[in-house]
Chains A and B, each alone.
Chain A
Amino acid sequence: LAKTTQPISMDSYEGQEVNITCSHNNIATNDYITWYQQFPSQGPRFIIQGYKTKVTNEVASLFIPADRKSSTLSLPRVSLSDTAVYYCLVGSTFDNYGQNFVFGPGTRLSVLP
Chain B
Amino acid sequence: ETGVTQSPTHLIKTRGQQVTLRCSSQSGHNTVSWYQQALGQGPQFIFQYYREEENGRGNFPPRFSGLQFPNYSSELNVNALELDDSALYLCASSFGQARSGNTIYFGEGSWLTVV
Do A and B interact with each other, yes or no?
A: no
